[in-house]
Structures are given as C-alpha cells and as structure tokens.
Amino acid sequence: MAQAHRIALASFIVLIGCGSDRATTSDAQPVDRTASSTSFDPLNGDYPQIMWMCNVYEVPAGTEIDSDGLVSASSKAKPNGVGVVLASNVTRAVDSIRSLPNARHLGTPVSFSPPASTTRIEPETRDKAGSSIGDRSIELNGLLKGDFVGTSAEIATASGAFQTSCRCGARDVPKGGALLFLCPGASSSDPWTLLMVRPTVLRSTQDFPFQRASSFSTAK
C-alpha cells in the first residue's frame, strides 16, 4: 500500500524555502472544488494517514541535540542524538542546524503511511530537481495518540564497504512539532546524518495543509 501511495503521490510537491529547509507553498490559485467534480484526494479516501514531511542533512561528527531540540557541536564522548521539538521551537531548531559549520541540506522527501505501518524513503527519492537524500534510507512508523504521533525512525547509511544503522524508539511528537534524529556515518570519516521529521495526521481531505493546484505535477 505504501508503494501505491508513493506512486499516486509522486506529484505532491512541498517547496522548501530559506536555504531549502523551510516548508512553503507557491502562489498558485487554490483549487475550486465547486467548479470540478474532481476533489483533492490523492489518497483515494484511505484515511487516516500520516504525512511525513522530512528534512535530511549531513552534519559534522559530534553534533548533539539539547533538551530544547536545538542542535550544536558537542565535546561529549556520547552526544545526545534524539530530540523532540515543540511547534513553537521548530524555526529555532532549523536555524541551529543551518549555523553548524559544514552542515549540508540534502533533500526534503515527503511520504505517507497509515497508522502503525512503515513507510520507507529510499536513496533515490527526489522531490525537486537535483535533490537527493544520498546513500541512506529512512524508515518511519507512527501511532496516533490523541494530538501526538508516537514516531519511530531508523536510518541506514552506506559508504564503500562500510554500513551502519541507527534506530530511534517511539517518541511522542506533538501537533506541529518535529522529531530530530542523528545517525553517525558509516565510517569514522563520514559526516553524520540528521533527520528532522514533522508528522501530520490526515483524517480527511480537509486536513491537507497544501490544497492547491500546484501540489500536483507529473514532472520528476
């Protein structure tokens, strides 16, 4: 089912601004539902669904996430690699990532899955020309818990003969908030992967945050 949704939603585009790491929409006109019998329903009535809006970064080894969800360089032997960010603190968290030396934004994949199901973001995933998450794959799983989404994540990376996998157990992400998750590189010389994922619960077509004609395109 997840693969079918990825195909059906290949045209669902989320543009990222401010250095390509903040979600924005275009200036296209809203869909006029009264003028057409075709409603905005790319999931074909299959609700609820979780929409996973992701930002994937490469950051220096030794990066850590503090208790407020801000990201910084660390001198600790085992820096903290998981954090939950409140909706009010997402912008600060993004700014802290962008301020890291040599941090690089890799891509902004979007995926969908029913609750308690796993969605997988593969290395070749692209949501705009030239964007790729590189030699890494990401798995996401979510459980609905009122206004929270119990979010689990796994990141697998590869570099030549080296491979690594990092797993994050369920964290309760509040509405509008984000999960930050760090994974060391496959070899000691590789940068680390930082995932910021913002789960949004879609219970009907009315819950789509971007209900505009420009959300659909067959272009790759």
Give residue 193's domain range: 2-26+48-205
* pLDDT at 150 > cutoff 50: yes
The answer to whether the predicted template modeling score (pTM) of the entire model surpasses 0.85 is no
Distance CA 60, CA 95 (A): 16
Distance CA 26, CA 13 (A): 10
- Domain membership flag for residue 180: yes
Q: Report residue 158 as tokens.
A: 């590869």
Taking alpha carbons only, the member of 19, 103, 99 closest to residue 61 is 103
Distance CA 213, CA 124 (A): 26
- Domain membership flag for residue 42: no
CB 185 within 8 A of CB 61: yes
Higher-pLDDT residue of 16, 136: 136
- Domain membership flag for residue 31: no
CB 71 within 8 A of CB 80: no
- Domain membership flag for residue 36: no
* Residue range 180-218, pLDDT digits in tens: 999 999 888 899 999 999 999 999 988 887 654 444 433
- Domain membership flag for residue 218: no
- Domain membership flag for residue 67: yes
* Residue range 74-106, pLDDT digits in tens: 888 788 999 999 999 999 999 999 999 999 999
- Domain membership flag for residue 197: yes
Q: At 34, which amino acid appears? A: T
Distance CA 101, CA 41 (A): 41
> How many domains is the chain built from?
1
Distance CA 55, CA 125 (A): 12
User: Which pLDDT does position 123 carry in this prediction?
Assistant: 86
- Domain membership flag for residue 41: no
The contacts of residue 8 (CB under 8 Å, 6+ apart) are 42, 43, 44
